[in-house]
Amino acid sequence: MSKVLSAWFAFSSIVLLLLCAIAISHSAWLAVLLGVLGVANIGWGFVIKARQNRRQGNTV
């Protein structure tokens, strides 16, 4: 995975989880939604990384 793409997933995940932490005091549903989106974003980053490694033939 390129450094820019890695940085994007890291930054966007931090922003989503930060917004989740802020939303806890305002709305439980919004906090849950942002938390799920944050975790899904992290998971999607791993999926993209695995696909790119598989295309390049990397096993690690």
- Give the domain ranges of the chain: 3-54
Instruction: Say yes or no to pLDDT of 1 above 80.
Output: no
Which pLDDT does position 36 carry in this prediction? 97
Burial of 43 per CB tally in 10 Å (0-12, 13-18, 19+): exposed
Which pLDDT does position 59 carry in this prediction? 65
Measured distance CA(50)–CA(33) in Å, rounded: 26
Encode pLDDT of 12-30 as tens digits. Answer: 999 999 999 999 999 999 9
Where does the pLDDT of residue 57 fall: very low under 50, low under 70, confident under 90, or very high at 90 and above?
confident
Encode pLDDT of 29-44 as tens digits. Answer: 999 999 999 999 999 9
